[in-house]
Amino acid sequence: MIREGLAGKRVLVTGATGFLGTALVERLLRCVPDLHVTVLVRSGRRTAAAERTRREILRNDCFDRLRAEVGPEAFDALIRDRLHTVAGDVGQDGLGLDDDGRRALGEADIVIHSAATVSFDAALDAAVEVNLLGPSRVAEALEQTGNTKAHLVAVSTAYVAGTRRGPAHERPLTETPFSPVKDIDWRTEVDAARRSRQDADTESRRPERLSSFTKQARHELGAASTPLIADRAERLRTEWVADQLVEQGRARAQSLGWPDAYAYTKALGEKALFETTARTGQPTAVVRPSIIESALAEPRPGWIRGFRMAEPVIISYGRGLLKEFPGIPEGVVDVIPVDLVVAAIIAVAATREEGVFQVASGARNPLRYRGLVDLVREWFTANPLYDGEGQPIVVPEWSFPGRGRVQRQLERATKTLAAAEKVLTSLPVRGRRAQLSGRLEERRTQADRALGYVRLYGAYTETEAVFQVDRLIGLWSRMDAADQAAFGFDPALVGWRDYVHDIHLPSIVVHARVRTAAGRKQGPTREERGRKAILDPKRHLAVFDLENTLIASNVVESYAWLATRHLPTADRARFVARTLREAPALLALDRRDRGDFLRHFYRRYEGAPAARLHDDAWDLFAGLILTKSFPAGIRRVREHRARGHRTLLITGALDFVIAPLEPLFDDVVAAHLTTDSNGRLTGELQEAPPTGEARAIVMQDYADAHGLDLEQAVAYADSASDLPMLEAVGHPVAVNPEAKLATIARKRGWHVEQWDKSPGGPRPLLPIGARAR
């Protein structure tokens, strides 16, 4: 009946790159012979629509079965023959189709619209464009091509019913009692959503807002350069706008009685669709699945695409991170395997059924929340995940608390952790102690994520609506035995224990790439792999910062050492006391702007005899610089050279101070002071000191001059103010990072090195030069 109904037909599918869409296209191609599928795919920023089809649909392991069944050549031929791609975008009026696309739409016998923004925390305007306007746009585009005969099947969600108790029937929402849809004009909602994007954007540009973004960027990055701060502040602004729209979406949805923006826009989308097709006379069906999860059997048990709603929650639970999750123990968690939804859509399409069909398990084969939690705990107890030390993780027992309590607890934890992190990042610690802030940050992220889940999905575990499936079962009963065997969609087919234990959990555990075996990891550690990548022969340039990257010293110490060298003993003590008194002010200046600090500080060299400083620098080298050097760092420079990489030192230290270090590197970029006619230093810099973004520019120029590619370069630095330098290269390394950089390095997966001074070195309390005699 199904195969006959679809034989020789042309089906156009939107949303084919999604979870449901991929499964649908695969099933149509594999199980219905002599049927042509056209997928409407949005061209990516860089990839054409056809390329996206190849990469994002055909390369998915969903097609492994078909490929294996017919053989790779026959598979390619089948795809060439029966699968076509047209470029288009359901977010645009007229679907953004070209002539080809319009022809394909005009010739289609069936149009299945499954494109949607499924994210529960989508921005309001994006959700409105795609979910609310998408279905009616498809209907209008069909009207424009004159194809009012084609059967339009739109995929919606069972949750359009809204937050309510009792049965939810398979009827258009306008015919459903207590539905919030009734009195709402969807056009007004569209206009309001579009306006709110503009309003949020305008609000984000107010001076107070802008300065707070800049302030936050400065706090995150420390004494970074202006372009970097500006860049970060702008990113914070766009994120803020996005957050506002997400918040507005949630608020608007909840004010009307839906759990989130997704359900709200989908509901209004249905209303708009039925209004449009009532006008055009298009035969239309709406299929409303509940929560779609991994496949029961087709194309293989456990097949899933992407990380969906329940998975992150389940994995977090398995890893012992999620200690509590709200929910009503006897409430129904309405889950439906993806292949059942696909089969239902195909059956509706093949029989040209109209009206609403719900594909949900709650009414016919309910899975209770407590039952699900028990199944999950049983499974993780038998198949635990393992922590970094290779020990099994014991999963927590849930007490089914109310949503409010969990949310409050998590909010409190998040706040405390954020405060602790803030204190720590403002302390001048570095190296291993700074890693503590990384751990704190990790904990806060975990708490944050848990809070996010609770806010987002809490409503779903508390749903008390029961989605009726009478029409679906009616359709099921009209199918013959062969169809029922090939296209099963009766929710009663699912045995929950087998499904959860043998199909769903094993699949998502593999999908999440968590550790499922005991014992320490074999093979090289992350650190060893990082080091290997850095020293790979393909790299060809290594750039080093000096202070706290190769030596634990700074320009102030060098200055104090050189200056005290020729002072009488009494003055030496006074000098040191004076410098110490100034230290906090100098430190503050250095934090604000490294370039300004250097310029200001180097004034002190005014009038110093250049020749004598050049001589003294050699004693400074042995007396201070080598003593405070990191031997492992110096060895690393030499390892790069031994591998034929060019090595470059970029430092704000003065040229004569680092002259003895020059043989270590191929090239050195340092600060130069000018000399007057009497051979005395003027205290003025010849050019701007190489700090902040100037370093990135110096590196780029250097790479260009030597025909090198910064993608293949390694940069070593210790502080967030060196970010332009680190970001410019393909292989950044944070050395003894201070808290801010440690956090950034962890987030971006940068290699981190902890280099220490040699423990046997002399440890003078104060940087006082040996008396010159």
Partner 1 sequence: MPRPGFVLDVDRSTPPTLFWHGEGYRLEQLPPGSRVIYPPEPLAGLPDPDAAIRHALRNPLGDSAPLPDLLRPGMRLTICFDDVSLPLPPMKGPDVRQRVIEAVLDVAAEKGVDDVQLVAALALHRRMTDDELRHALGDRVFDAFAPNGLLTQHDAEDPDNLTFLGQTEQGEDVEINKRAATSDLIVYVNINLVAMDGGHKSVATGLSSYRSLRHHHNVRTMQHSRSFMDQHRSELHSSNWRMGKLIAASGVKVFQIETTLNNRTFPDQFSFLSKREWEWSAKDRALFAASSKALDRTPTRLSRQILHGIRSPYDLTSVQAGEVEAVHAQTTEHVYRQQLVEVSGQTDVLTMGLPYICPYNVNSVMNPILVMCLGLGYFFNLYRGKPLVREGGAVIMSHPTPWEFHPVHHPSYIDFFDEVLADTTDPLEIEKTYEERYATDPWYVHLYRTTNAYHGVHPFYMWYWGAHAMQHLGAVIIVGGDPKAVRRLGFKPASTLRDALEMAEDVVGRDPSITHVHTPPLLLADVR
Strand, helix or coil for residue 704: helix
Q: Dihedral sign, CA of 87, 92, 94, 99? A: negative
**Radius of gyration in angstroms for the set of CA atoms belonging to the chain, rounded to a whole number:** 33
Strand, helix or coil for residue 711: helix
Q: What is the DSSP letter of 664?
A: G
Considering only 268-276, 354-362, 602-610, 758-766, which stretch makes contact with partner 1 by CB under 8 A? 758-766
Strand, helix or coil for residue 484: helix
**Residue 532 makes contact with partner 1 by CB under 8 A:** no
Which residue from 106, 757, 764, 766 is in contact with partner 1, where contact means CB under 8 A?
Answer: 757
**Residue 764 makes contact with partner 1 by CB under 8 A:** no
Strand, helix or coil for residue 165: strand
**Residue 80 makes contact with partner 1 by CB under 8 A:** no
Minimum distance of partner 1 from residue 757's CB (angstroms):
7
**Residue 451 makes contact with partner 1 by CB under 8 A:** no
Q: Binding string, 306-335, against partner 1, x = CB under 8 A?
A: ------------------------------
Closer CB to partner 1, 432 or 574, in the complex? 432
Closer CB to partner 1, 133 or 546, in the complex? 546
Closer CB to partner 1, 210 or 664, in the complex? 664
**Residue 418 makes contact with partner 1 by CB under 8 A:** no
Minimum distance of partner 1 from residue 759's CB (angstroms):
5
What tokens were used for 526?
A: 């992350």
**Residue 516 makes contact with partner 1 by CB under 8 A:** no
3 state SS for 751-766: EEECCCCCCCCCCCCC
Phi first, then psi: give them for residue 170, nearest 5 degrees. Answer: -85, 75
**Number of helical H runs and strand E runs in the chain:** 31, 19
Minimum distance of partner 1 from residue 770's CB (angstroms):
9
Minimum distance of partner 1 from residue 634's CB (angstroms):
8
CA nearest neighbour of 31 among 345, 418, 449, 456: 345
Locate tokens 């440690």: which residue?
742
- Using CA atoms in the order 170, 171, 172, 173, what is the torsion angle rounded to 10 degrees? -80
Closer CB to partner 1, 429 or 626, in the complex? 626
Residues 5, 28: contact at Cβ < 8 Å?
no
Minimum distance of partner 1 from residue 315's CB (angstroms):
39
What tokens were used for 252?
A: 């608007």
**Residue 569 makes contact with partner 1 by CB under 8 A:** no
Closer CB to partner 1, 578 or 635, in the complex? 635
Longest Cα–Cα distance in the chain: 108
**Residue 278 makes contact with partner 1 by CB under 8 A:** no
User: In Å, how far are 341, 358, 719 from 470, measured between CA atoms?
Assistant: 15, 8, 64
d(CA 393, CA 621): 52
Closer CB to partner 1, 513 or 773, in the complex? 773
Which residue from 513, 570, 760, 765 is in contact with partner 1, where contact means CB under 8 A?
Answer: 760
Buried b (16+ CB within 10 A) or exposed e, 107-137: ebbbbbbbbbbbebbbbbbbbbbbbbbbbbb
What tokens were used for 107?
A: 């010739």
d(CA 681, CA 613): 10
**Residue 773 makes contact with partner 1 by CB under 8 A:** yes
Q: Binding string, 628-647, against partner 1, x = CB under 8 A?
A: -x-xx-xx--x---------
**Residue 366 makes contact with partner 1 by CB under 8 A:** no
Closer CB to partner 1, 90 or 657, in the complex? 657
CA nearest neighbour of 346 among 82, 108, 28: 28
Strand, helix or coil for residue 443: helix
Strand, helix or coil for residue 552: coil
**Secondary structure element (H or E) that encloses residue 4, with its range:** helix 2-6
**Residue 371 makes contact with partner 1 by CB under 8 A:** no
Q: Binding string, 643-682, against partner 1, x = CB under 8 A?
A: -----------------x--xx------------------
Closer CB to partner 1, 498 or 615, in the complex? 615
Closer CB to partner 1, 221 or 658, in the complex? 658
**Residue 531 makes contact with partner 1 by CB under 8 A:** no
Minimum distance of partner 1 from residue 638's CB (angstroms):
6
**Residue 524 makes contact with partner 1 by CB under 8 A:** no
Buried b (16+ CB within 10 A) or exposed e, 378-403: ebbeeebbbeeeeebbebeebebeeb
d(CA 588, CA 619): 30
Minimum distance of partner 1 from residue 408's CB (angstroms):
49
Closer CB to partner 1, 70 or 664, in the complex? 664
* Cis bond upstream, residue 135 (ω within 30): no
Closer CB to partner 1, 137 or 646, in the complex? 646
Minimum distance of partner 1 from residue 390's CB (angstroms):
23
d(CA 341, CA 620): 76
d(CA 428, CA 309): 41
Minimum distance of partner 1 from residue 641's CB (angstroms):
9
Considering only 163-171, 433-441, 602-610, 752-760, which stretch makes contact with partner 1 by CB under 8 A? 752-760
**Residue 707 makes contact with partner 1 by CB under 8 A:** no
**Residue 178 makes contact with partner 1 by CB under 8 A:** no
CA nearest neighbour of 435 among 742, 740, 220, 723: 742
Closer CB to partner 1, 625 or 728, in the complex? 625
Which residue from 207, 523, 763, 765 is in contact with partner 1, where contact means CB under 8 A?
Answer: 763
Minimum distance of partner 1 from residue 329's CB (angstroms):
55
**Residue 409 makes contact with partner 1 by CB under 8 A:** no
Q: Binding string, 594-633, against partner 1, x = CB under 8 A?
A: ------------------------x--xx---xx-x-xx-
Closer CB to partner 1, 339 or 753, in the complex? 753
Minimum distance of partner 1 from residue 400's CB (angstroms):
51
Closer CB to partner 1, 515 or 757, in the complex? 757
What tokens were used for 689?
A: 């000191």
User: In Å, how far are 17, 43, 148, 276, 373 from 142, measured between CA atoms?
Assistant: 22, 21, 6, 11, 46
**Residue 45 makes contact with partner 1 by CB under 8 A:** no
Residues 148, 281: contact at Cβ < 8 Å?
yes
Minimum distance of partner 1 from residue 621's CB (angstroms):
6
Q: How many residues bind partner 1 (CB under 8 A)?
A: 22
Residue 83, beta-bridge partner list:
37
Minimum distance of partner 1 from residue 765's CB (angstroms):
12
d(CA 410, CA 538): 47
Closer CB to partner 1, 538 or 635, in the complex? 635
**Residue 432 makes contact with partner 1 by CB under 8 A:** no
Q: What is the DSSP letter of 95?
A: G
Residues contributing to the site for partner 1 (CB under 8 A)? 618, 621-622, 626-627, 629, 631-632, 634-635, 638, 660, 663-664, 757-763, 773
